[in-house]
Amino acid sequence: MPPVLRLTGITKRFGKLVANDAISLTLARGEVLALLGENGAGKSTLMSILFGHYVADEGSIEAFGQPLPPGQPRAALAAGIGMVHQHFTLADNLTVLDNVLLGSEPLWQPFSRRSDARAKLLAVSQQFGLPVSPDAKVGSLSVGERQRVEILKALYRGARILILDEPTAVLTPQESEALFDTLAQMVAQGLSIIFISHKLGEVLRVSHRVAVLRQGKLVAEAPAQGTTQGQLAQWMVGHAIEAAERRPARSVGEPICTLSNVSTAPTGRDRLHEVSLTLRAGEIVAIAGVSGNGQVALADVLCGVRSASSGQVTLRGAPLQARPAWLVGQGVARIPEDRHAVGVVGDLPMWENAVAERLRGPWFAHPWFRAFWVKRRAARQHAQRVAETFDVRGGGA
């Protein structure tokens, strides 16, 4: 049978950066194609071109044998292409039905046909094994249930090709298993799926075929059956990777940070209740638990974003101040779980994000006009060093 999707010679440049370099791919009916690659390999750019968010500089796309007009998300939807982003695009204050209906009805329609929409949503939900209450507020749903809503939005609009961007990144193991069961039902009914993930074990489990991008180029294609995780990792990074080896700590020093019976005011389910913890020099401490059970509260307390309602937190023997600027000065750094909402400011260039937490320090601020004058040359040079040292991709400083 002819492929349901064909990408031919897709090239996309952002200035000097070639995000996609003459990529050609096909997708068959009822197939799960896993798309792999490091961060910055070009996966998201390629999918954004497919869905109409970007326009390719070169190349063409066909869906079900028909040319797909570039740069038109509405045309992609009409062709039967749906996309579920890693970061959900749902309105928490609206119901499931309202979220599904958003953008699916013409503006000139005098009233919303909610009764018909409810019946269609329930039918799609039952057909693909995605149970969810149409009247539930999205803000009250678990992460797994929200993902179901995102998938239902695409299926409600008639998607026959579904793009899943890091679908298990925020799911518990149980929710991931439920998602895999759903994908099996979809494939059995003829849907085609592009599965983007960094979890190699999951990729080999759910996909029929694997395509690997590296630095914007398609470097490998192979059937999932018979391919190993080691081969996938080598294709992704370009060289063999030694198996990870756990090494005992050379020495564990004195306590650096301690929590003694720390509690926080409840914010939904995420709170701390009489937590005691000690972090010592030269030590890695892992915190495990299902999302929503205090991990965010713990990180907020340790980074000065939230104050403890009771108990004591100390840093190098002194009380920890609930002031992020003070903690930055003490050498405390944080990599948040949601880099888009909390970690960076998307509208600012890289160099401003790189120095944002140290903007008032002596390196980047004028000593006399600290609040008004930024040493841009020094800030840009710092951002360039960061990009070169840590292989930051995606644009210049």
Assigned domain for 286 exists? yes
Q: Are residues 65 and 202 in the same domain?
A: yes
* Residue 323 domain boundaries: 251-342
Which element (helix H / strand E) includes 220? strand 217-223
On whether both 170 and 231 belong to a single domain, the answer is yes
Q: Do the beta carbons of residue 230 and residue 241 sit within 8 Å?
A: yes
Amino acid symbol at 194: I
- Residue 116 phi/psi, 5-degree rounding, is -65, -40
- Pick from 237, 268, 303: which residue ends a domain? 237
CB 148 within 8 A of CB 179: no
Same-domain check for residues 263 and 119: no
In a domain, residue 242? The reply is no
262: nearest Cα among 292, 307, 316 = 307
Residue 118 lies in a domain: yes
Q: Mark whether 66 and 156 lie in a shared domain.
A: yes
In this structure, are residues 11 and 21 in contact, taking their beta carbons and an 8 Å threshold? yes
- The rounded distance, in Å, linking the Cα atoms of 374 and 368 is 11
| Residue 213: CATH number of its domain | 3.40.50.300
Pairing between β-strand 5-14 and β-strand 17-27 as defined by DSSP bridges? antiparallel
- Residue 150's CB is within 10 A of a number of other CB atoms, namely 20
- Contact between 128 and 139 (Cβ < 8 Å): no
One domain for residues 24 and 155: yes
Note the pLDDT of residue 328: 85
Q: Is the pTM of this model over 0.85?
A: no
- Looking at the fold, whether 60 and 93 belong to one and the same domain comes out as yes
Q: Do 163 and 50 contact (CB within 8 A), yes or no? A: yes
pLDDT at 106: 66
Is residue 302 within 8 A of residue 271, CB to CB? The reply is no
CA distance 205 to 224: 8
Residue 244, domain member (yes or no): no
Quick one: 161 exposed, middle or buried, by C-beta within 10 A (0-12, 13-18, 19+)?
A: buried
- Reading phi first (left if > 0) and then psi (alpha if -120 to 50, else beta), residue 159 is in beta
Which of left, alpha, beta for 122 (phi over 0: left; psi -120 to 50: alpha)? alpha
Q: Which of 237, 271, 287 is the last residue of a domain?
A: 237
In a domain, 243, yes or no: no
Burial state string for 35-69 with b = 16 or more CB within 10 A and e = fewer than 16: bbbbebbbbbbbbbbbbbebebeebebbbbeeebe
Contact (CB, 8 A) for 8 and 24: yes
Report mean pLDDT in 10-residue bins for the chain, 397 residues: 92 91 95 90 91 93 93 90 82 89 71 82 87 87 83 89 85 80 89 90 92 93 92 88 74 89 80 91 84 82 89 92 86 80 80 80 67 78 86 64
Q: Which of 342, 362, 379 is the last residue of a domain?
A: 342
Compute the distance between CA of residue 100 and CA of residue 124 in angstroms, rounded to an integer: 12
Q: Are residues 164 and 226 in the same domain?
A: yes
Residues 149, 16 share a domain: yes
Same domain, yes or no, for 182 and 219? yes
191 shares a domain with 93: yes
Residue 183: other Cβ atoms inside 10 A: 21
293 vs 7, 88, 141, 299, CA distance in Å?
A: 43, 20, 15, 12
Packing angle between helix 143-156 and helix 114-127, nearest 10 degrees? 110
Pairing of strands 5-14, 58-63: antiparallel
Does 182 share its domain with 282? no
Task: Estimate the share of the chain in helix, then strand, then coil, as percent rounded to the nearest 5.
Answer: 30, 25, 45
Q: Based on the number of CB atoms within 10 Å of its own CB, is 13 exposed (0-12), middle (13-18) or buried (19 or more)?
A: middle
Number of domains in the chain: 3
Residues 173, 72 within the same domain: yes
- Residue 246 within a domain: no
